Amino acid sequence: KNQVEQSPQSLIILEGKNCTLQCNYTVSPFSNLRWYKQDTGRGPVSLTIMTFSENTKSNGRYTATLDADTKQSSLHITASQLSDSASYICVVSAYSNTGKLIFGQGTTLQVKP
Amino acid sequence: DGGITQSPKYLFRKEGQNVTLSCEQNLNHDAMYWYRQDPGQGLRLIYYSQIVNDFQKGDIAEGYSVSREKKESFPLTVTSAQKNPTAFYLCATSRTGGGTEAFFGQGTRLTVV
């Protein structure tokens, strides 16, 4: 069964600190993996997209890694800001003509001053 | 400006009523999706459409209906048969159905009163 699991479920950190969010998946055949940021009451916005051959991709203070062998991804946030408070969703796509995406349940991050 | 427009942002429904959520896009994307989001859970696919006049059931289609008469529009009707409709509903689009990036609207929060 195709599944995406994220950890931790929630996380509280102080402003300026770094943090790492985890995503494990069992999706086959793998096409790509995306990290989205979702502010409360808003739609998700894409942060990074990674294909099978990519190990690391950065977007400002966000760095995503992908280990296709162990089927794990991480999202590292550097020098956190209050505006980073949001849910972070890992989404995996399998090769198919339906475009079906498999969503993780998200990690809720709260950055405190 | 380009994007995905969902309306209304907030919607209240009396028990036994049908309500329709609007999703309009001017991105010229072929594929459109409807997701439901509940607290602590990942997004779940309700319906998707890859082309005009064609749509497919997702994982939780019962109690919902859709139409795709125009490329730009993919309205979702929540019928009285949906027993627990209170949720956050997200519309998304992508260029094709083959695992390309999904873009999300800002969501509609539906509450049964």
**Residue (of B112, B11, B99, B24) closest to A98 by Cα position:** B99
Query: Which tens digits make up the pLDDT trace of A45-104?
Result: 999 988 888 899 999 999 999 999 999 999 999 999 999 999 999 999 876 655 668 889
Report the pLDDT value the prediction gives residue B53, as an integer from 0 to 100: 95
The size of the A-B interface in CB pairs under 8 A is: 70
Residues of B in contact with A96 (CB under 8 A): 97-99
First to last CA, chain A: 41
pLDDT in tens, A17-46: 999 999 999 988 888 899 999 999 899 999
Query: B45 at the A interface (CB within 8 A)?
Result: yes
For B36-48, give one letter per residue: b (16+ CB within 10 A) or e.
bbeeeebbebbbb
